[in-house]
């Protein structure tokens, strides 16, 4: 049993958590983080907008992809819009067109390709919030996609709109916003199929309120849904053909450019280490070697064209950010953390062995191939990495 004192303590803690400043949070939703950009773009582009949209489709693309370094002007104000998603502009444009047509958008791809981030950015730009989200799991129920009940009110007053607890999807429907369903293929097929009528009929029937104005809850103008799915997820449930027809599929692939991926890893890991209260002490040569190794192992071919045996795990950009962050934290806080390059093999073996311990042999093969060849060609960073080969065997 919890004492009165403990209850007061819990309540005080909850109150403190509720008032944490945005600057002190580990993550900030894009509608808050980029509030100034969203406000600026709403004023900058006054062209036609789909019903319920905060920005024009063109401004949504600019918000996601940035202004390319160009300073945009709106009245007396000017602003360079930051690029937030590293990928093809044409992909983002197709996504925006899909949402403008009020059709479901399904972002598919390998883990760590920023599908969730892209869905957040699109939702924030279109309707001002990315928070109307359902996380798909094997335990997700149909109620989480439609509605549940406040059972205290239900017992006291019977079925009523007041007692109905809307899901994030239903809230998005009735307010004309964008709902997000993460990892939709992790939901059981019967739960997934709850989305079929929702996306086709644009309404949810509430049998308990049949015969009342609230017996059918209709979608307001602007409502649409973005779902994501991983191509490598072993816990997936195949989508029905009926549900697939309700979505436009867009594949989000790995970053094509080495320089762009290095810059993204640098930017995100620097921010993560800063949140840990330390400066980022990983130099560019280490970051480039890290990202190069990830790209070689991901694609099965080195930048020079040498064949590489691919591990079964996904060598994603998100994982590269995690490794770079770990190296940065080590450099800042551990006594011998200054030897950042010396810690890279250990970090790589931790990533590669994640799905299959046998993949450690594939990483050794990579060391005996491209790493050794680059060392023989005189590349200082790769020569040091070759000398650290024994760390992989340990």
Tens digit of each residue's pLDDT (9 = 90 or more) over 105-145? 999 999 889 999 999 999 999 999 999 999 999 999 999 99
Among 219, 251, 283, residue at a domain's last position: 251
Residue 335: what pLDDT?
Answer: 76
Residue 10: what pLDDT?
Answer: 40
Other C-beta atoms lying within 10 Å of the C-beta of residue 137: 15
124 with 192, same domain: the answer is yes
Average pLDDT over residues 146-169: 93
Tens digit of each residue's pLDDT (9 = 90 or more) over 233-251? 666 788 999 999 999 999 9
pLDDT band at 12 (very low <50, low <70, confident <90, very high): very low
Please report which helix (H) or strand (E) contains residue 107, including its range: strand 104-109
- Facing residues of 135 across strands? 182
Residue 19: what pLDDT?
Answer: 60
Specify if 312 maps to a domain: yes
Residue 131: what pLDDT?
Answer: 97
Question: 48 pLDDT exceeds 80?
Answer: yes
Whole-number average pLDDT of the chain: 90
Q: How far is CA 191 from CA 142, 152, 184, 198, in A?
A: 5, 26, 9, 12
DSSP state of 334: S
Q: Work out the angle at residue 134's Cα, subtended by the Cα atoms of residues 132 and 136, and round it to the nearest 5 degrees.
A: 160
> Quick check: helix, strand or coil at residue 169?
helix
Angle between helices 258-275 and 284-299 (to 10 degrees): 120
Question: 11 pLDDT exceeds 50?
Answer: no
Q: What is the CATH number of the domain that holds 201?
A: 3.40.50.300
Taking the C-alpha atoms of residue 316 and residue 321, their distance in angstroms, rounded to an integer, is: 9
Residue 197: what pLDDT?
Answer: 87
Average pLDDT over residues 67-93: 94
Residue 16: what pLDDT?
Answer: 46
> Quick check: helix, strand or coil at residue 247?
strand
103 with 203, same domain: the answer is yes
Q: Which domain holds residue 301?
A: 258-393
359 with 382, same domain: the answer is yes
Six-digit token string for 18: 């509720």
Taking the C-alpha atoms of residue 110 and residue 39, their distance in angstroms, rounded to an integer, is: 33
pTM: 0.88
Residue 308: what pLDDT?
Answer: 95
363 with 221, same domain: the answer is no
Tens digit of each residue's pLDDT (9 = 90 or more) over 353-369? 988 888 999 999 999 99
237 with 262, same domain: the answer is no
Question: 1 pLDDT exceeds 70?
Answer: no
Question: 15 pLDDT exceeds 60?
Answer: no
102 with 245, same domain: the answer is yes
Question: 21 pLDDT exceeds 90?
Answer: no
Specify if 65 maps to a domain: no
Q: Which of 343, 137, 126 is nearest to 237 (CA)?
A: 137
151 with 263, same domain: the answer is no
Among 226, 251, 276, residue at a domain's last position: 251
Tens digit of each residue's pLDDT (9 = 90 or more) over 245-286? 999 999 999 999 999 999 999 999 999 999 888 999 899 999
What whole-number percentage of the chain has pLDDT above 90? 82
Ranges 174-178, 316-320, 337-341: which has the least confidence: 337-341
Taking the C-alpha atoms of residue 97 and residue 85, their distance in angstroms, rounded to an integer, is: 17
Specify if 24 maps to a domain: no
pLDDT band at 23 (very low <50, low <70, confident <90, very high): low
Number of domains the chain contains: 2
Specify if 224 maps to a domain: yes
């Amino acid at each position: 049993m919890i004492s009165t004192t403990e209850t007061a303590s819990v309540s005080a803690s909850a109150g403190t958590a509720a008032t944490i400043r945005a600057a002190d949070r580990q993550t900030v939703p894009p509608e808050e983080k980029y509030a100034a950009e969203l406000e600026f773009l709403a004023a900058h582009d006054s062209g036609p907008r789909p019903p319920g949209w905060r920005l024009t489709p063109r401004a949504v693309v600019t918000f996601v992809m940035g202004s390319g370094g160009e300073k945009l002007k709106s009245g007396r104000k000017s602003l360079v819009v930051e690029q937030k998603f590293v990928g093809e502009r044409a992909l983002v444009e197709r996504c925006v067109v899909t949402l403008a047509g009020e059709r479901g958008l399904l972002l598919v791809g390998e883990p760590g390709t920023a599908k969730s981030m892209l869905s957040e950015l699109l939702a924030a730009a279109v309707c001002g919030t990315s928070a109307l989200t359902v996380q798909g799991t094997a335990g997700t129920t149909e109620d989480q996609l439609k509605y549940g009940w406040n059972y205290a009110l239900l017992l006291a007053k019977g079925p009523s709109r007041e007692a109905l607890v809307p899901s994030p999807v239903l809230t998005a429907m009735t307010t004309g916003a964008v709902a997000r369903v993460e990892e939709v293929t992790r939901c059981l097929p019967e739960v997934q199929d709850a989305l079929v009528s929702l996306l086709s009929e644009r309404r949810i029937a509430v049998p308990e309120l049949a015969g009342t104005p609230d017996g059918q809850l209709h979608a307001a103008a602007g409502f649409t849904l973005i779902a994501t799915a991983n191509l490598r997820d072993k816990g997936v449930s195949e989508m029905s053909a009926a549900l697939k027809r309700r979505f436009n599929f867009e594949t989000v692939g790995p970053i094509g450019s080495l320089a762009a991926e290095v810059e993204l890893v640098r930017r995100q890991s620097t921010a993560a280490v800063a949140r840990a209260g330390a400066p980022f002490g990983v130099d560019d040569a280490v970051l480039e070697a890290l990202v190069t190794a990830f790209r070689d192992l991901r694609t099965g071919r080195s930048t020079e064209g040498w064949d590489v045996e691919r591990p079964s795990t996904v060598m994603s950009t998100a994982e590269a950010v995690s490794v770079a962050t770990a190296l940065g934290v080590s450099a800042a806080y551990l006594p011998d953390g200054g030897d950042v390059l010396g810690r890279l093999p250990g970090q790589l073996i931790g990533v590669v062995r994640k799905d299959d311990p046998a993949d450690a042999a594939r990483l050794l093969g990579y060391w005996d191939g491209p790493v050794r060849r680059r060392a023989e060609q005189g590349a200082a960073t790769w020569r040091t990495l070759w000398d650290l080969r024994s760390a992989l065997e340990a």
